[in-house]
Chains A and B, each alone.
Chain A
Amino acid sequence: MVLLLVVAMGLSMTFGARDVGWSEIVAALYGQVETIGEAAVASRLPRTLLAILAGAALGLSGGVMQGLTRNPLADPGLLGVNAGAALAVVIGLAWFGIEDATLYIWAAILGAGLTAVAVYAIASLGRGGATPLRLALAGAVTTAALSSLTTAVVLPRGDIAGLVQSWTVGGVGGATRDQIVPVLPFLFLGLVIALLSARKLNLLALGDDTATGLGEKVALARAMAAVAAVLLCGATTAVCGPIGFVGLVVPHACRLLAGSDYRWLLPFSALGGAVLLTFADVFGRLVARPAELDVGIVTAFIGAPVFIWIVRRRKVGAL
C-alpha cells in the first residue's frame, strides 16, 4: 500500500500538461525553479500533497461513517455532507464576507456537521431505522435541497458567482502551500479521534444493544466517531470542494484486504484513499491533456459503477 502511494506520488510529479524527467524532479525538490520542468514540478508538489491529504481524510471519514451508521453505502458525498459544507461556505461568503481561510474551514465543518445530523435524522424516521436505502435517499434529497439553497444565495450576487462555480466540482488543482497549512490541524485532530474510535466501531458493528452489553457507552462512541468523520470531510471539502465516492469505494476495497476489524480497516482506508485520489488526479490530468479533468469528476466516474455494483451484490432484504 505504502509502495503504491510512493508510485502514485512519483507519477503525480511526472505527468501533467508537460512531462518532466527525473533529474528535473529531483532538482526541483531541492528548490530549484530554473527550467520550466522544475517550475512545473514545484507547482505539482503542493497539489500532490493535497491529493494525498484529502484522499486519506475522505477514505478515513468514509470508513468511520460506514462503521458509525452500520451502513455500507455511507459516503460524505452521497450523504449530502459535502453539499452542506458548500452551502455554509457560500453563506459565509455572501452574507458575512468571510475571507480568512480558517473561518472558511470552520464554516465548512459546521455545515457538514449540521447536514450529517439532519440526514441521519431524516433517514432514521419511522419504522426500521436508517436502512442503507433510506440513508442514501435522505442524502440525495438533502443534497438537492441544499444545492437549491446555494443557488438561491448566489443568484443575486454576481460578484461571488465565479468563486462558487468552482465549488460544484471538487479538485486539487491550483493548490498552494498557504491553502494546505490551515487545514492541517483539523485533519490531524480528525485522524487521531478516528483512530481512537476504531475499537469502539468494532463494538458498534455488533449493534447498539450488544455494544452496551459489552460495556461500551454507545452515545459517546457515536459522538466521537461522528466528530471525527465530520472534521475530516468538512475540512477536506473546505479546501478541495466536494469530492464524492472516495469515502464509499475505499473502505469497501480495503475490507477485502484488511478484513472488517476497524483497527486495521481505518489506517488502510486512509492509505487507500490517498492512493486513489492521487491516481485519479494524475488520470484526470492525462486524459484531457492539455486541459485537465477535475478529480471530483474522475472519482464520480470510478465511484458510481462501484456503488451500483455494491447495490447489485447485496440481498434485497439488506437494503
Chain B
Amino acid sequence: MSEPLRSDQRCLAAAGIARIRRKRARRRWCVWAVLLACLLAGVALTLMRGQSFTPPMTVLRALGGADVPGVGFTVRELRLPRAVVSILAGICFGLGGVAFQTMLRNPLASPDIIGISTGASAAAVFAIVVLSMSGPAVSIVAVVAGLGVALLIYALSWRRGVTGARLILVGIGLAAMLQSFTAYLLMRAPSWSLQEALRWMAGSVNGVQLNQALPLFIALLFFGGLILSCNRDLEALRMGDDIAEGLGVRLTATRVSVIVAAVGLVAFATAVSGPVAFVAFLSGPIAARLTSRNGSLLIPSALVGALLVLLGDYAGQFLLPARYPVGIVTGVLGAPYLVYLIIRDNKSGGAL
C-alpha cells in the first residue's frame, strides 16, 4: 500500500477483476451446461436402448401416454422409473458426498467410507433377515438407522467440540464394526431372505417403481435445499475452522445442518437403491477435475452423481458380459480412481 489508490484507479482495478470473474463464471456455466447435456443424452439413451431399440419418436409418444403396442409398457413401466430413480439417487449421493468431503476437507471422507451408508445397510439387512421385513418398511429402517449412526458418530467424536479428523476416524471404526455385523447376518441368513439382502447390499435400481421416486424427490427438495443454502458457509469451511469462524460462520450450526442434510440425502437414496458404492465418493473429485476448481462443487457433483448412476446402471445391464447391478459397476470404477490418485502428481492429495 505505497499510496492510497485514486478513485479512478480503483475503478479500473475493480473493472479488471470483474472481467476475470465474468470469464470464470462463463466457464462455470459451460461446464454445467455440458454436464446437463450429457445427462439428457444419457436419459435418452436409456429410454431408447434396452433389450430392444425404440426410435426416439416412439419413446416420446409412449411418454406422452399414447398406447404404442409393446413399447408403452417397456418405456413407461420399465425404463422410465429406472432412469428417474437413477438420476434422483445419483443426485442425492453426489450432493451428500461432496458436502461431507468439503466440510471435512478430505476427498476420502465421503459418507460411504465413514460409516453412514454402512449403518443404513446393516439396519436394512437386519430388517430383511431377522425381522423379515420387506418393501417400504426396510427403507424407513434404513433411513432411521443412517441418521442414528450419523448421530452416534457425532456424539462419540464430541470432546470439547468436534473436529473433522476425529469424526472421520470414529466413523471408520464404527463402519468396520457394522460391516462385520452385516457379514455375520448374511452368513446366518436363510436362503430366501439372503437373495433379497444381497441384492439390496449390492446397490441396484432393478425393478424400481415410479412411486418410489416420490419420497426421494421430496427428500431431495428438502435436504438438497438445506445444503444449497449452506453453500457459502461450506466454501468458507474449506479454509479451516479458524478462518471460517473469523469470517462469521457459525461452526456448530453449519456442521449440524450439513450433516443432517447430507445424511438425509444419502439415507433416502440408500433406502431406494441400496448403497450404490462409491458414487458419493467419486462425484465430488470428478466434478472438481471437470470444473478445475471453479466455484462451488455442489451442483456439478450432483450432476456427476446422476450421470454415474445412470450410466453405471446402463453399463451393468447391457455393456458387460454378465448382468451386474449398478453398485458393482460403480464399485469397480472406484478402484481405478484410487490408482489414478496414486499416479497423479503428488502435489495435492490432502484437499478436494
Contacts and interface: CB of A to CB of B under 8 A. Distances in A.
Contact between chain A and chain B defined by CB under 8 Å: yes
B78 to A, nearest CB: 22
A165 B187 contact: yes
B341 A319 contact: no
A168 B172 contact: no
A300 B177 contact: yes
Contacts of B180: 169, 244, 296-297, 300-301
B338 A141 contact: yes
A231 B78 CA distance: 51
B13 interface: no
B331 A152 contact: yes
A141 B113 contact: yes
B113 A137 contact: yes
A156 B157 CA distance: 41
B350 interface: yes
Given A77-B176, A145-B338, A148-B277, A308 B350 contact: no
Interface in A125-176: 125-128, 132-134, 136-142, 144-149, 151-152, 155-156, 165-166, 168-169
Contacts of B184: 169, 293-294, 297
B278 A311 contact: no
A59 B16 CA distance: 63
Which among B163, B173, B186, B346 has the highest number of chain A CB atoms within 10 Å?
B173
A137 B277 CA distance: 16
B172 A137 contact: yes
A304 B173 contact: yes
Contacts of B349: 125-127
Given A132-B169, A316-B166, A169 B278 contact: no
Given A169-B180, A312-B157, A122 B335 contact: no
B187 to A, nearest CB: 6
A106 interface: no
A52 interface: no
A127 B176 CA distance: 27
B168 interface: yes
A89 interface: no
Contact of B332 (A152, A156, A293): A152
Interface in A207-232: none
B183 A149 contact: no
A280 interface: no
Interface string B166-196: 1011101111110111011011100000000
A308 B156 contact: yes
Interface residues of A, number: 51
Interface string A283-304: 0000000010110110011011
B186 A126 contact: no
B176 A125 contact: no
Interface stretch (B104-112, B249-257, B289-297, B301-309): B104-112
B109 A137 contact: yes
* Consensus secondary structure, chain B interface: helix
B22 interface: no
Nearest to B182: A168
B94 to A, nearest CB: 17
Interface string A254-266: 0000000000000
A148 B174 CA distance: 20
* Consensus secondary structure, chain A interface: helix
B350 A128 contact: yes
A138 B169 CA distance: 11
Contact of B176 (A134, A169, A244, A316): A244
Contacts of B327: 148
B322 interface: yes
A291 B187 CA distance: 12
Given A244-B180, A312-B156, A136 B186 contact: no
Contacts of B217: none
B328 interface: yes
A56 B314 CA distance: 48
Contacts of A137: 106, 108-109, 113, 168, 172
B159 interface: yes
B334 interface: yes
B281 interface: yes
A136 B170 CA distance: 10
Contacts of B341: 122, 125
A73 interface: yes
Nearest to A87: B335
B52 interface: no
Interface of A: 73, 77-78, 118, 121-122, 125-128, 132-134, 136-142, 144-149, 151-152, 155-156, 165-166, 168-169, 244-245, 291, 293-294, 296-297, 300-301, 303-304, 307-308, 311-312, 316, 319
Given A141-B281, A301-B180, A311-B170, 14 more contacts: A140-B108, A140-B172, A141-B108, A148-B327, A151-B328, A152-B331, A152-B332, A296-B183, A300-B181, A307-B176, A311-B157, A316-B165, A319-B165, A319-B166
17 contacts: A125-B349, A127-B350, A142-B338, A144-B334, A145-B332, A145-B335, A149-B335, A151-B328, A151-B331, A155-B324, A166-B187, A291-B188, A300-B176, A303-B177, A304-B173, A311-B157, A319-B165
8 closest A-B pairs by beta carbon, nearest first, are A126-B349, A148-B331, A125-B349, A304-B177, A300-B180, A319-B165, A137-B108, A307-B173
